[in-house]
Amino acid sequence: MRRVVVTGVGFVTPAVAGGRAALAAALTGRAVPAPARVAGGVLAELIERDEARRLSRACQLAVAAGRLALADAGREGADGLGMIVGTEFGDLASTLSFVDGYLRRGPQGLSPLLFPNTVMNAMAATATIAVRARELSLTLNAPTVAGELAVARAASLIRADRIEAALAGGVDELDPLVEEVLGSMGAGDELRGEGAGFVVLEAEEAARARGARVLGELAGAASRALSARSYGLGRRTASRAIAAALEQAGLRAAEIGRVFTSASGDDRRNRWEEALLDAALAPHRPPRTTLAAHVRRHAGSGPLAVAAAALGAAVSGGALVYAVARGGTHVALVVRRP
Amino acid sequence: MTAVVVTGLGVVSPFGAGVKAYWNGLVAGACAIRPATLIETEGFRCRLAAEVPERVGGSARRSRADRLALAAAREALGDAGLGREERAEAALIVGAVGGGMLEAEAWYWSRFRGEPAKDARALRSTFPLSHAAVLGSALGLGGPRETLVTACSSGAASLAVAADLIAAGEAPVALAGGVDALTRICFMGFNALRLLDPEPCRPFDRDRRGMSIGEGAAFVVLEDRMRARARGARIYAELAGYGMTTDAFHVTSPHPDGEGMVRAMRSALERSGVAPGAVGYANAHGTATPQNDRIEARALREVFGEGRLLVSSTKSMIGHTMAAAGALEAVATVLALGHEVIPPTANHTTPDPEVAFDCVPVVAREAAVEFAISNSFGFGGQNVTLLFGRTER
């Protein structure tokens, strides 16, 4: 099996946009809740005006973050590049615009240009065109853990020699309807935001051969499902995902120096996550960190945790990035010094 | 190298519930494309769809798509004879596009008209991720769980990813497939793009004018061949390989040379070590749009050469079922290998000189083939080719 390394990171969040230097700077700053939405000026600096006219806002977020990640990785060509995108809501704003056209004007009000954006792979479709990623492309739809799942899937594909490299991450736009519906379902206190975050993953040999600046090794990645109803919480606290990721990385729980969690203000989900971590790592209890206060929680924040873990890989052993979603899907990613 | 085999099948199609109804309909060359009843069609150029004809069982609180998926998934798991402990380890990979949008549209329509507010909790099954959550919870599936959206190739992509999970040892067994119920957005969108034929579609026919939309669900159980043999499971076919590529060309149009399609087909062949000449049948993506069929035929010719390959499009009978299409067509391909019968291309009466293949017009054909491919292509230039083998190698 091939080793997988992280060679770049790119992100656009309400607080900050950039690559590894911007992420490192953001993480050393005081953790204060950032605004929920990405300011228009941020995207205007990253997307050409012609492109901005053609692309929806969600697609702009994905394209901008993907380009920043490839630039950070120093990859000039996109040969052998796949793209795995996680998202919870897709391009909902375009979907609603498409529908509103019909409701206001009937069939004549339908925009054929908006229709493709009603499919959740719209962000992957536009980003693969923008960066010329011609290997396989997948969009993963999941609550809370979509970005972490995308990173795990990409790592698995590289390890199995399906692709040589991948842009893996997530994107979500915060639509007012989403906020309203989530609020009505009792999830209104979460530090939700919008943004996009991608890491560049590569087969270690290929990365070394091109002289890439390796951030860290993604040594283990696994996902499993715990028993829970849709958007519900489960009672079990044994995380087979953590055990599988540690085994793949060849590490013991005691060798984990830091944990990046998906805690975001959904208190009941947070408590479940804490219990799962306690059970998996006991009696060891390494420091736990969440990026929610820095970049809020969205499909791009999990991949940023992977990059943050790699930036802090001076920690002996490795770092664990962990996330559990309502509904029971949970993902464990082990990052260590290359 | 781990061989991945198919040990269970489940289908809900416009021919009704069950694999048997599906296969009988395909072999009969029956066309299930009729005037749509689930959605409003007034004012649209095309008013047809292939709908699942009977009442779909299950709780009315669940979306139609969730219920379609549950019925097909239950049949597949039962067919494979998987017990509770085996399910607890099983991966679940679902290809989906529309999610529970049919019900969400009704909610949104009502709100737009200013009618009294309905409970927003009805929207919790709106997104495609709902299917995996519902199936996983209801069927006790505890392995890796993913919802894939690669537009019209989603169902095929789910089988490919599930096969990788098994080959990599990440799961011993997987339930994989696709589902989509008819939605207003899909129907309106393809009408707006003028890609729908006002009459039932005619794939690869010279006079084809576009696609027909359908709905349905299909799931298969995939597992390691050694494991399947050890537990005495019935093995339908081997999923010998797959290829998955991206055009990176245009959001809705395929590359004019079909180069992404060619790469997907060649990748499936190369990774499985199967020569093009060993493949006897292609269940084509075959949407019946003038452009797609022309480009797919060109890509098939480039990979397999002219003439010899039998090519048919089962969309001619059940319409384009979106995310379910790749999975439904995979099931059709597996059954064609096992029954030694190639399902026809219905409504195909006038050959297109640009399509250099026998498209098995109208009537099913007896033919024993060793290997067959199923092509699925989607918006965003998302190409998937699945390669199935009749015999275990």
Catalytic residue at B31? no
Nearest residue in A to B246, CA atom: A134
Of A124, A136, A142, the CB nearest to B244: A136
Judged by a CB distance cut-off of 8 A, whether residue B250 touches chain A is yes
Reading phi first (left if > 0) and then psi (alpha if -120 to 50, else beta), residue B329 is in alpha
What are the structural domains, with CATH classification, of chain B?
4-380 (3.40.47.10)
Please list, in sequence order, all residues whose beta carbon lies within 8 angstroms of the beta carbon of residue A251, skipping any fewer than 6 positions away: A219, A220, A317, A318, A334, A336
Query: What percent of chain B stands above pLDDT 70?
Result: 99
Task: Classify residue A39 by burial, with Cβ atoms within 10 Å: 0-12, 13-18, 19+.
Answer: exposed
Number of domains in chain A: 2
| Averaged pLDDT for residues B344-365 | 97
Of A102, A139, A164, which Cα lies nearest the Cα of B379? A139
Contact B392, B240 (CB under 8 A): no
Q: What is the residue range of A285's domain?
A: 220-336
Specify the pLDDT at position A209: 96
- Distance CA(B69)–CA(B131), nearest Å, equals 7
User: Is A297 within a domain?
Assistant: yes
Specify the pLDDT at position A313: 60
| pLDDT beyond 80 at A29 | no
User: Is A226 within a domain?
Assistant: yes
Q: Between chains, do A124 and B250 touch, taking CB under 8 Å as contact?
A: no
Residue B110 sits at φ, ψ, to 5 deg, of: -60, -45
Contacts of A116 in chain B (CB under 8 A): 189, 251-252, 379-380
| pLDDT beyond 60 at B353 | yes
Q: Between chains, do A121 and B378 touch, taking CB under 8 Å as contact?
A: yes
Count CB neighbours of B352 within 10 A: 20
Q: Between chains, do A153 and B146 touch, taking CB under 8 Å as contact?
A: yes
Residue B113 sits at φ, ψ, to 5 deg, of: -80, 0
Contact B202, B33 (CB under 8 A): no
| pLDDT beyond 70 at A31 | no
What does the pLDDT look like over A252-272, one tens digit per residue?
999 999 999 999 888 999 999
Specify the pLDDT at position B118: 77
Contacts of A141 in chain B (CB under 8 A): 96, 127-129, 147-149
Of B348, B257, B375, which Cα lies nearest the Cα of B29? B348
Specify the pLDDT at position A186: 64
Contact B155, B327 (CB under 8 A): yes
| pLDDT beyond 50 at B329 | yes
| pLDDT beyond 70 at A305 | yes
Give B94→chain A minimum CA distance, Å: 10
Q: Hunting for tokens 């959001």 — which residue is that?
A: B251
| pLDDT beyond 70 at B392 | no
- Distance CA(A292)–CA(A174), nearest Å, equals 15
| pLDDT beyond 60 at A314 | no
Q: Of A209, A229, A244, which residue is a domain's last?
A: A209
Handedness of CA B58, B61, B64, B69 (dihedral sign): negative
Specify the pLDDT at position A231: 83
Alpha helices (H) along B236-365: 259-272, 290-304, 315-318, 325-339
Based on the domain organization, do A120 and A269 belong to the same domain?
no
Based on the domain organization, do A30 and A170 belong to the same domain?
yes
Active-site position among B131, B186, B201, B285:
B285
- Distance CA(B16)–CA(B31), nearest Å, equals 13
- Distance CA(B320)–CA(B210), nearest Å, equals 11
| Averaged pLDDT for residues A315-330 | 91
Q: Which tokens go with B245?
A: 């590529």
Please list, in sequence order, all residues whose beta carbon lies within 8 angstroms of the beta carbon of residue B138, skipping any fewer than 6 positions away: B70
Q: Between chains, do A223 and B146 touch, taking CB under 8 Å as contact?
A: yes
Give B242→chain A minimum CA distance, Å: 10
Specify the pLDDT at position A84: 98
| pLDDT beyond 90 at A152 | yes
DSSP E strands, chain B: 4-13, 16-17, 34-35, 48-49, 91-96, 145-148, 173-180, 216-224, 237-246, 279-283, 307-312, 341-342, 357-358, 365-366, 371-378, 382-389
Catalytic residue at B152? yes
Q: Distances in Å between the alpha carbon of B307 and those of A205, A232, B54, B300?
A: 43, 54, 40, 10
Active-site position among B31, B46, B131, B152:
B152
Please list, in sequence order, all residues whose beta carbon lies within 8 angstroms of the beta carbon of residue A269, skipping any fewer than 6 positions away: A144, A233, A324, A325, A326
| Averaged pLDDT for residues A94-99 | 96
Please list, in sequence order, all residues whose beta carbon lies within 8 angstroms of the beta carbon of residue A58, skipping any fewer than 6 positions away: A90, A91, A92, A93, A94, A117, A122, A123, A171, A172, A173
Based on the domain organization, do A194 and A158 belong to the same domain?
yes
Handedness of CA A243, A244, A246, A247 (dihedral sign): positive
Give A261→chain B minimum CA distance, Å: 19
| Averaged pLDDT for residues A146-164 | 97
Mean pLDDT taken over chain A: 93
Residue B310 sits at φ, ψ, to 5 deg, of: -85, 130
Q: Which tokens go with A250?
A: 């060849």
Of B97, B120, B191, the CB nearest to A107: B191
Based on the domain organization, do A12 and A44 belong to the same domain?
yes
Of B44, B189, B260, the CB nearest to A118: B189
Catalytic residue at B131? no
Specify the pLDDT at position B161: 98
| Averaged pLDDT for residues A321-332 | 96
Q: Hunting for tokens 């990173």 — which residue is that?
A: A151
Could you tell me the CATH number of the domain that includes residue A136? 3.40.47.10
Buried b (16+ CB within 10 A) or exposed e, B217-243: bbbbbbbbbebbeeeebebbbbbbbbb
- Distance CA(A217)–CA(A203), nearest Å, equals 10
Give B91→chain A minimum CA distance, Å: 8
What does the pLDDT look like over B90-102, one tens digit per residue?
999 999 999 999 9
Q: Between chains, do B121 and A184 touch, taking CB under 8 Å as contact?
A: yes
Q: Which tokens go with B262?
A: 């060619």
Judged by a CB distance cut-off of 8 A, whether residue B302 touches chain A is no
Nearest residue in A to B252, CA atom: A116
User: Is A215 within a domain?
Assistant: no
Based on the domain organization, do A316 and A288 belong to the same domain?
yes
Specify the pLDDT at position B13: 98
- Distance CA(B50)–CA(A243), nearest Å, equals 46
Q: Distances in Å between the alpha carbon of B139 and those of B83, B87, B144, B362?
A: 10, 8, 14, 39
Q: Distances in Å between the alpha carbon of A110 and those of A73, A104, A153, B324?
A: 41, 10, 36, 25
Judged by a CB distance cut-off of 8 A, whether residue B155 touches chain A is no
**Farthest-apart Cα atoms in chain B, separation:** 63
pLDDT winner (highest mean) among A10-14, A226-230, B361-365 = B361-365
Contacts of B100 in chain A (CB under 8 A): none
Q: B171 falls in which pLDDT band (50, 70, 90)?
A: very high
What does the pLDDT look like over B175-214, one tens digit per residue?
999 999 999 999 999 999 999 999 999 999 999 999 999 9
Helical pair A146-159 and A301-311, crossing angle rounded to 10 deg: 60
Please list, in sequence order, all residues whose beta carbon lies within 8 angstroms of the beta carbon of residue A53, skipping any fewer than 6 positions away: none
DSSP E strands, chain A: 4-12, 17-18, 81-87, 137-141, 165-172, 195-203, 216-225, 256-261, 288-290, 318-324, 329-336
| Averaged pLDDT for residues A164-186 | 86
Based on the domain organization, do A45 and A118 belong to the same domain?
yes
Q: Hunting for tokens 């230097």 — which residue is that?
A: A21
What does the pLDDT look like over B20-49, one tens digit per residue?
999 999 999 999 999 999 999 999 999 999
| Coarse DSSP helix, strand, coil percentages of chain A, rounded to the nearest 5 percent | 40, 20, 35
| pLDDT beyond 50 at A318 | yes
Lowest-confidence region among A81-85, A179-183, B64-68, B246-250 = A179-183
Mutate to test the interface with B, among A1, A63, A119 (most CBs of B within 10 A): A119
Active-site position among B131, B255, B320, B348:
B320
Kindly write down the DSSP assignment for every residue of A62-105, as one continuous string. HHHHHHHHHHHHT----TTEEEEEEESS-SHHHHHHHHHHHHHH
Specify the pLDDT at position A34: 74
Based on the domain organization, do A247 and A194 belong to the same domain?
no
Of A134, A138, A224, the CB nearest to B142: A224
Specify the pLDDT at position B393: 47
Based on the domain organization, do A49 and A197 belong to the same domain?
yes
pLDDT winner (highest mean) among A189-193, A294-298, B275-279, B304-308 = B275-279
Based on the domain organization, do A178 and A245 belong to the same domain?
no
Helix (H, G, I), strand (E, B) or coil at B152: strand
Based on the domain organization, do A200 and A229 belong to the same domain?
no
Task: Classify residue A104 by burial, with Cβ atoms within 10 Å: 0-12, 13-18, 19+.
Answer: exposed
Handedness of CA A257, A262, A264, A268 (dihedral sign): negative
Based on the domain organization, do A134 and A249 belong to the same domain?
no
Based on the domain organization, do A234 and A173 belong to the same domain?
no
Nearest residue in B to A78, CA atom: B248
Q: Of A209, A241, A262, which residue is a domain's last?
A: A209
User: Is A175 within a domain?
Assistant: yes
* Side-chain-facing half-sphere of B221: CA atoms under 13 Å: 30
Alpha helices (H) along B273-361: 290-304, 315-318, 325-339
- Distance CA(A304)–CA(A298), nearest Å, equals 10
Q: Between chains, do B148 and A156 touch, taking CB under 8 Å as contact?
A: no
User: Is A162 within a domain?
Assistant: yes
Q: Between chains, do B129 and A142 touch, taking CB under 8 Å as contact?
A: yes
Q: Of A209, A232, A262, which residue is a domain's last?
A: A209
User: Is A214 within a domain?
Assistant: no
| Averaged pLDDT for residues B235-248 | 97
